[in-house]
Amino acid sequence: MTNRVGIGQRRWMIRSIACCALLLLLACSDDTSFSPVTRAETECPQLEPIGGDPDGLIFLGLSLSRNFLELVSHPSEFVPSSNNASVSRQTQFDFNQIQDRNYFNYCSTNDDGWLVGGGEGNGSFPGSKPSYKLTNPDSAHIEIVHIGNGDPSLGGLSEEEIFAIMEDIEFEPIRLKPSYVRLNDEDPPEFELRFEPQDNPELYALYETLLARITNPTRELGNPFHMTISRKVVFRSPERSEAWLEQSNAVVEEWRLAYPDGIVLTPDPAELDRGTITLDEWENPGGIYLFWNRNEIRQYFPPTQSP
């Protein structure tokens, strides 16, 4: 008797599943004549394809990227996970000094890992360790003006329009002076290095000029005076968080003492031999870049005035 009941229950379940499947098929069919349920009632907006972000990722800014492959002679536990594709567009600042790459204080970040100071490597060169984060090149940058996208029909600016605007922009070589590090107000926060206007007058002057000239609909004011180091930061404890901020700001203070009037960033001449920078970048430093996204630089705009 028990087996016969069990078999009956199973048959009932099979029939129920078959009926549900048939109803679902009819509901999702283009031909609604077989079902009283209309197509509008069965559509799932959350599954509809949505176009890309019209705001885009195009911006004018400074590149502070650096390739740290020369550090492989250090003990392996101190070697940054530098990505071989990173380009040394500056040699003045070693941002690994304010990055907890060994996760002594950090507990976690988002999948981007370390956005600056060598990026995330794949452990393919001697002395390095593989990364479990995204293995992007170093994309350290300061965004000055967020243009949006390259399509004027979507409120952006074409590359040609950006070039035309920059032809009339006058600016001095930008001297950079770090101000301090902080955790921003997001939850979990981003860890960022600040470059305040009072410490960076050339940067602020160029920012004001660009805001007056670039007025397309997708332009965003943003916050140009910072460099994001890592996102969604969670510390092992509040004490570790406080200690890390204090330690990092001590490093920033050393940089401030070394460059009291700021410093014009200069690329590594070895990058000329590698063909990763232009002669203009080397001979006329202190300019800005057109980023098509944080990992793709389209154009360098050198300063037009003497300091």
| Same-domain check for residues 164 and 204 | yes
Domain count, the chain: 2
Give the pLDDT confidence score for residue 112 in this predicted structure: 79
| Same-domain check for residues 40 and 162 | no
CB 180 within 8 A of CB 218: no
- The DSSP bridge partners found for residue 176 are 263
Determine, yes or no, domain membership for 92: yes
Q: Global pTM? A: 0.77
pLDDT in tens, 216-261: 999 987 778 999 999 999 999 999 999 999 999 999 999 999 999 9
Give the pLDDT confidence score for residue 92 in this predicted structure: 95
DSSP 8-state assignment for residue 23: H
| Same-domain check for residues 39 and 127 | no
Does 170 or 18 have the greater pLDDT score? 170
| Same-domain check for residues 22 and 122 | no
Using CA atoms, how far apart are residues 139 and 87, in angstroms rounded to an integer?
9
Using CA atoms, how far apart are residues 299 and 291, in angstroms rounded to an integer?
8
Determine, yes or no, domain membership for 17: yes
What is the biggest distance separating any 2 CA atoms in the chain, rounded to whole angstroms? Answer: 98
Which residues, other chains included, contact 260 with Cβ-Cβ below 8 Å and sequence gap of 6+? Answer: 177
Give yes or no for residue 110 having a pLDDT over 50.
Answer: yes
| Same-domain check for residues 156 and 260 | yes
Give yes or no for residue 37 having a pLDDT over 80.
Answer: no
Q: Give the CA-trace dihedral at 234, 235, 237, 239, to 10 degrees.
A: -130
CB 217 within 8 A of CB 155: yes
| Same-domain check for residues 67 and 33 | no
Determine, yes or no, domain membership for 53: no
| Same-domain check for residues 114 and 142 | yes
Q: Give the CA-trace dihedral at 63, 68, 69, 70, to 10 degrees.
A: 120
Using CA atoms, how far apart are residues 31 and 39, in angstroms rounded to an integer?
9
pLDDT in tens, 171-220: 999 999 999 999 999 999 999 999 999 999 999 999 999 999 999 999 98
Give the pLDDT confidence score for residue 111 in this predicted structure: 80
Mean pLDDT, residues 43-65 taken together: 66
Determine, yes or no, domain membership for 292: yes
| Same-domain check for residues 151 and 293 | yes
| Same-domain check for residues 132 and 217 | yes
Determine, yes or no, domain membership for 306: no
Domain that holds residue 73: 58-301
Determine, yes or no, domain membership for 202: yes
Determine, yes or no, domain membership for 219: yes
| Same-domain check for residues 136 and 34 | no
| Same-domain check for residues 253 and 277 | yes
Distance from chain centroid for Cα 77: 26
Mean pLDDT, residues 37-60 taken together: 53
DSSP helix/strand/coil, 182? strand
* Average pLDDT in the chain: 81
Determine, yes or no, domain membership for 28: yes
Mean pLDDT, residues 64-92 taken together: 70
